[in-house]
Amino acid sequence: MNQSKINHTSGINKFMIGQDIKQTAGQLRRKNLHQLSGRLLFCLTLTLGLAASLLAASPLTQNKAIQSSPVNSREKLVQQFMAKGLRENYAFALLKKLTALGPRLTASPQAAAAVEFMRQTMIDLGLENVHLEEVEVNRWRRGDQEKCFLVSSALGTHPLAVTALGGSVGTPPQGISAKVLEVHSFEELKNKAAEARGKIVFFNQPMDPTLLDTFRAYGQVARFRSLGASAAARVGAVAALVRSPTTANDDFPHTGMMRYQENVPRIPGLCLSTRSADFLSQALKSDPQLRVYLWTNCRNLSPTTSYNVIGQITGTTKPNEIILLGGHLDSWDLAQGAHDDGAGCVQAVEALRLIKSLGLRPKRTIRAVLFMNEEFGGSGGRDYVRHPNRRQEKHLLALESDRGGFRPLYIGLRATPALWDLVKSWEPLFQKMGLIGFQKGGGGVDIAPLNAQGTILAGLIPDCQRYFDVHHSALDTIDSVNPRELELGALAMSLLAYLLAEEWPE
């Protein structure tokens, strides 16, 4: 992760952004020829075996079919989507390649490589208007492996599994050794403020296991991770240790973004694995005088430039009206971000590939946006909305997939009554894909800035029982993703985007 490498890779991206697609026309023509012969082969296969499918696969007949006999043709459409998606499992194949590039921490060389890889993938798939848009991003480096030990005259010395939080300052070079104050809420910290001076504050509030919605349980404790260090510093503490926000009981600490508040000393913030948190809590009961030794050399660097990756299927009659599908391309650095959010990125690309390869050409534009820097402040979403390219565009609906590549259960959306009635009428189609249906509410960090422009926000809502087992930890790897579950999410996004692009209520 040295500086020269970063600049080198960013340089490539800058070069690419300046290149109009036309400049690689020769390359594209060759690709198009290749794709054309591929398509011809595909059509021949269909002629032999599936004459009926071939009729439906032609763009003209497809659109006509939808208009003349909506119910039957939509059901046929679902069958086509399902057959193609589940046979080919392209989303997983793409995720495998993406995760092979390594963890995609914002502003890392691997994140830059992922930008270029996804841009090239979109071009290879024949998507249109494939380009990069600049995003200003913060830069933070974990540095070397953190060290953390419990040191007790009664219990001995024991290692604790920790990970520095994104944005945290490092410890002094000699590390920090201090007594520990365990608390379970900010309120409790306030009450025990007098005891905190010179100590490490240990926030040990577990995620509520009784809540079915693990995102709700996560929301209740994630604030200790994001705000704990400043709260501890305000009462004179020297560092903050936070129990990992996960329902799993294991030795894997979960990282994530933390923020320093103004006019408060900046002290290190780290997360402990759940087992280490339980161990420390137990040890404190038998030896309240024990000390914890901490060492990290993470640091913040100056901001730099990265990119959102964009590609689309341009609408035939209303090209400036856009249905956006998105995920975020950056990840944390402890693993390859397979679920968070490689899954959402490959689903968005696969959704467009399915529409295109079934020969469908929607009236309105369907766009995939792979946002950069969701994890480190959400600047990808903000810069997307501010970009001059947006001036001529109207985003009707934006759907984000950023809840893992698990089996999709719902699509959540903040719909107008007319749109709500329309999508509810499509529910049986989505039930054929294994979803329960539509629910109210939904959105995502990256698409949230579009809300101010009147865009309807939506989110893919998969089963959330296992997401926080892997979220922001070393366990978020490709082998934790099921290809079929991932593909089902892409299928639902694809079908919804296509139907909306065709039948948006005026």
- Of 134-153, binders to Zn ion (CB under 5 A) are none
Q: 156: buried, middle or exposed (CB in 10 Å: 19+, 13-18, 0-12)? A: exposed
Residue 9's closest CA among 135, 119, 105, 108?
Answer: 108
Interacting span for Zn ion (CB under 5 A) from 40-48, 56-64, 399-407, 471-479: 399-407
Query: Is position 446 an interface residue for Zn ion (rule: CB under 5 A)?
Result: no
Q: Which is nearer to Zn ion, 202 or 332 (CB)?
A: 332
Q: Between 75 and 104, how does the x/- string for binding to Zn ion read (CB under 5 A)?
A: ------------------------------
Query: Which helix (DSSP H) or strand (DSSP E) does residue 10 occupy?
Result: helix 3-18
Contact yes or no for 92/505 (Cβ under 8 A): no
Q: Between 177 and 216, how does the x/- string for binding to Zn ion read (CB under 5 A)?
A: ----------------------------------------
Query: Is position 402 an interface residue for Zn ion (rule: CB under 5 A)?
Result: yes
Q: Between 466 and 495, how does the x/- string for binding to Zn ion read (CB under 5 A)?
A: ------------------------------
Q: Which long-range contacts (CB under 8 A, 24 or more apart) does 1-7 make?
A: 1/108, 1/109, 1/141, 5/109, 6/107, 6/108, 6/109, 6/112, 6/304
Query: Cβ of residue 372: shortest distance to Zn ion, in angstroms?
Result: 12
Query: Cβ of residue 208: shortest distance to Zn ion, in angstroms?
Result: 21
Q: Between 336 and 375, how does the x/- string for binding to Zn ion read (CB under 5 A)?
A: ----xx----------------------------------
Q: Which is nearer to Zn ion, 130 or 478 (CB)?
A: 478
Query: Cβ of residue 464: shortest distance to Zn ion, in angstroms?
Result: 13
Question: Which residues lie closer than 8 Å to 438 by C-beta, 6 or more apart?
Answer: 410, 411, 412, 413, 420, 423, 424, 427, 430
Torsion angle in degrees (nearest 10) through CA of 296, 301, 307, 308? 50
Query: Cβ of residue 135: shortest distance to Zn ion, in angstroms?
Result: 16
Tokens matching residue 381: 């979403």
Q: Which is nearer to Zn ion, 343 or 351 (CB)?
A: 343
Tokens matching residue 373: 């820097």
Query: Cβ of residue 377: shortest distance to Zn ion, in angstroms?
Result: 13
Rounded Cα–Cα distance for residues 204 and 296 (Å):
21
Query: Cβ of residue 248: shortest distance to Zn ion, in angstroms?
Result: 18
Supply the residues annotated as catalytic.
Answer: 374
Q: Which is nearer to Zn ion, 199 or 339 (CB)?
A: 339
In whole angstroms, what separates CA 358 from the centre of its chain?
27
Q: Which is nearer to Zn ion, 340 or 503 (CB)?
A: 340
Peptide bond between residue 463 and the one before it cis (omega within 30 degrees of 0) = no
- Reduced to 3 states (helix: H, G, I; strand: E, B; else coil), residue 446 is coil
> What is the DSSP code string of 310-369?
EEEE--SSEEEEEEEEEEE----SSS--IIIIIIHHHHHHHHHHHHHHTT---SEEEEEE
- β-strands 156-159, 162-164: how paired? unpaired
Count CB atoms within 10 A of the CB of residue 212.
Answer: 8
Question: How many residues are there in the chain?
Answer: 506
Q: Between 304 and 343, how does the x/- string for binding to Zn ion read (CB under 5 A)?
A: ------------------------------------xx--
Q: Which is nearer to Zn ion, 321 or 340 (CB)?
A: 340
Interacting span for Zn ion (CB under 5 A) from 97-105, 262-270, 385-393, 402-410: 402-410
Contact yes or no for 438/413 (Cβ under 8 A): yes
Interacting span for Zn ion (CB under 5 A) from 149-157, 259-267, 281-289, 398-406: 398-406
Rounded Cα–Cα distance for residues 38 and 136 (Å):
39
Query: Cβ of residue 402: shortest distance to Zn ion, in angstroms?
Result: 4
Q: Which is nearer to Zn ion, 182 or 341 (CB)?
A: 341
Q: Which is nearer to Zn ion, 311 or 459 (CB)?
A: 459
Query: Cβ of residue 218: shortest distance to Zn ion, in angstroms?
Result: 12
Q: For binding to Zn ion (CB under 5 A), which residues are involved?
A: 340-341, 402
